[in-house]
Amino acid sequence: MQRISWDEYFMNMAELASRRSTCIRRQVGAVIVKDNQVLATGYNGAPKGLPNCCDLNECLREALHVPSGQRHELCRAVHAENNAITQCAVNGVSCKGGTLYVTDSPCVMCLKQIINAGIVKIVAKKIYPDDMSREMLEQSGIEFILYNNVKI
């Protein structure tokens, strides 16, 4: 019997979380792990109690033709990484020293929170087009690995 790797296990969880997304434009899932234990999961969607984009059947960024990686403040959704970090905070669990598995690499807004939360490693399946995020990631010292194990 051949077992799947930890990376595959946690990335599969992130992909499963992305299927809960309520975003019309991009479905993202995230899992925060420490010592091979899941601390929190997240997916992108509107804040608790507010209508989701899929319920409203509208996306302001789409309507305004905003390219990916720009004008994050126009997004109604809380991003997957942000939701996972918030879940840790609400439950009183430190994610300091943890690893973030995410289906798309973080935007600059999420990366700032990741840095401040003390996450030390990010494993992403795809690259999100955000030049500022990439620059800050390189400056942060956080280890970044594409799921196919290519370091950036």
Strand-pair partners of 37: 34
Pick the catalytic residue from 15, 81, 138, 143.
81
Give the full edge-to-edge strand order of the sheet including 99-104: 37-43, 29-34, 99-104, 121-126, 143-146
**Does the annotation count 81 as an active-site position?**
yes
Task: Please classify residue 124 by burial: count the beta carbons closer than 10 Å to its beta carbon, then call 0-12 exposed, 13-18 middle and 19+ buried.
Answer: buried
Tell me the torsion sign for CA atoms 69, 71, 76, 78: positive
Q: Which two tokens stand for residue 115?
A: 């840095």
User: What amino acid positions are annotated as catalytic residues?
Assistant: 81
